[in-house]
Amino acid sequence: MKQVYFDNAATTPMRKEVVEVMTAVMQNNFGNPSSTHSFGRHSRALIEQARKTVANSLNCSAGEIIFTSGGTEADNLVLRSAVRDLGIKNIISSKIEHHAVLHTLDQLAEEYNIELSFLNLDSKGGIDTNHLKTLLASDKPTLVSLMHVNNEIGTILDLQKVAELCKASGALLHSDAVQSIGHYPINLQQTPVDFLAAAAHKFHGPKGVGFAFIRKNTGLKPLIFGGEQERGLRAGTESTHNIVGLSTALELADKNFEAEHQKVKDLKSYFMTSLKDAIPAVKFNGYSGDLEKSTYTLVNVCLPVNAQKASMLLFQLDLKGIACSKGSACQSGSNQNSHVLNEILEEADLQKPSVRFSFSIFNSKDEVDYVVSVLKENILSTVS
């Protein structure tokens, strides 16, 4: 049976070079980075070089990069400290953020009685910047938290515009950039974002490691207490091999950006055209069918299948060796509809299966042909 992995928005396979460098570090650089002997110093040197590599990618200071266990921890570090330590009383966000943000905001509202405001969205999941301007007029200390690229429908936020609006109003800006770092260049000298979150496994690095960008002099304090690792902002012995794997993956993503971006974008375009030809009634959710307004790495499709057959579609695809998801992987085991699609789809389309297909440099047009043929076989025989 053919195996096709089209769930790269959930996680990506590691590059061969990343595996090789991580293996070498695990074998040869096992010293605790906080130890003062030569074993520890060698590990510390690798971590600091990795920090510089990440900082160079984002055009920021190495001291502004804090390594974490992933994007969720980075989001929590920023959001919780902003409320607890920076006196934030008002947070502006949207209802289609990742649950790492939304659930944290709910908890903060319960603990600290902060005011939560959610931006109006257009019918495809784009934010209403006029509404943002209105909400930014608040005289309360304000933080805006908006993801750069939506993980389900791929909508791209105009990060530059939002950052400039926030700066002009004196609000802080946090962006969950988990789906964009390693896929889009970000220049933090030009874009006045205060905080970013990233995860290595979204750009062909290892799981269990990510980073937070924390602009200097913002005053954030730690979420995890203990030792003085990570500039005192993240206690715990650093995972040297994972951190080196992260920096290697990001360095390779930057080095190969032009060619790999075009390859994956062409693959997405080919998938959309092939799918529309095979199943004319298919719809592309949000802006995911727009190559300019959504990320080149994913497409979210609403398939013309009746409700009775919809529940079995992912199972049938899995039986054919096809990996994809019904929204984000974080909720693919849930029977609830995607909270993102609930915000933008009409009720009739919510009753149909929506599936996210996401692509990487390791995919091919032959795999697209196979997936489209399987979808056509399964769907055209079950159209309501």
pLDDT tens-place values along the chain, 384 residues long? 799 999 999 999 999 999 999 999 999 999 999 999 999 999 999 999 999 999 999 999 999 999 999 999 999 999 999 999 999 999 999 999 999 999 999 999 999 999 999 999 999 999 999 999 999 998 999 999 999 999 999 999 999 999 999 999 999 999 999 999 999 999 999 999 999 999 999 999 999 999 999 999 999 999 999 999 999 999 999 999 999 999 999 999 999 999 999 999 999 999 999 999 999 999 999 999 999 999 999 999 999 987 677 778 888 899 999 999 985 444 444 556 799 999 999 998 998 899 999 999 999 999 999 999 999 998 876 544
Q: What does the DSSP assignment read for 195-239? A: EEEEEGGGTTS-TT-EEEEE-TTS----SS-SS-TGGGTS-S---
The CA distance from 82 to 96, in Å, is 21
Q: Residue 45 has which token pair?
A: 């040197």
CB atoms within 10 A of CB 320: 17
pTM score, whole prediction = 0.94
Place of tokens 């692509």: 359
Pairing mode, strands 172-176 and 115-118: unpaired
Active site residue 60: no
Q: Which domains does the chain have, with CATH numbers?
A: 4-12+257-379 (3.90.1150.10), 16-255 (3.40.640.10)
Which positions ≥6 away from 228 have C-beta within 8 Å?
A: 235
Query: 5 and 363 in contact (C-beta within 8 Å)?
Result: yes
Spot the catalytic one: 60, 166, 302, 330.
330
Query: 365 and 4 in contact (C-beta within 8 Å)?
Result: no
Output the CA torsion 306→310→316→318 (10° steps). 150
Helix (H/G/I), strand (E/B), else coil: 262: helix
